[in-house]
Amino acid sequence: MTPNNKKPRKLLDQASGADGSAPRLSAEKFSPKSTTTEAQRQRVLEALRAGPKTSHDLRRLGIYQAPARVKELRDKCGYRITTAPVPLVDSDGYYHPRCALYTLEAEAPGGAV
């Protein structure tokens, strides 16, 4: 039980589909400022569906562990997301020679999320 006596939220539906598909993310909606792992995964997917994003872009969306969220989407949910190193100068003028650029190449089998 959590401190306010509520049951912890289930982050992944662990049951695979009848066709052996990957676990599905829950369809639960989160506040735009939620920092739960599930909310961050949803934001990553929404952002990548709009086009490629850098780890810097994802941090500005409140996703501070972008590599971990991308790995979960790949390994646990079956999304095909590629990573490429790109040079970047951030808004403060700092040069980052190998910032990760994530691209959603294919949705998860069975249409998870």
- Give the DSSP per-residue string, 25-50: EP-----TT--SHHHHHHHHHHHHHH
Instruction: Record the tokens describing residue 85, joined without a space.
Output: 């190193």
Instruction: Record the tokens describing residue 91, joined without a space.
Output: 């808004």
Euclidean distance between CA atoms 11 and 56, whole angstroms:
25
Nearest to 42 by CA among 14, 67, 11, 16: 11
> What is the separation, in whole angstroms, between the first and last Cα of the chain?
26
Residue pair 70/44 in contact (Cβ under 8 Å)? The answer is yes
Low-confidence ranges of the chain (pLDDT < 70): 1-28, 111-113
pLDDT for the residue 31: 79
**Planar angle of CA 44, 86, 79, nearest 5 degrees:** 30
Q: Which phi-psi region, left, alpha or beta, contains residue 29 (left: φ > 0; alpha: ψ -120 to 50)?
A: beta
Q: How far from the centroid of its chain's Cα atoms is residue 28's Cα? A: 15
pLDDT for the residue 16: 38
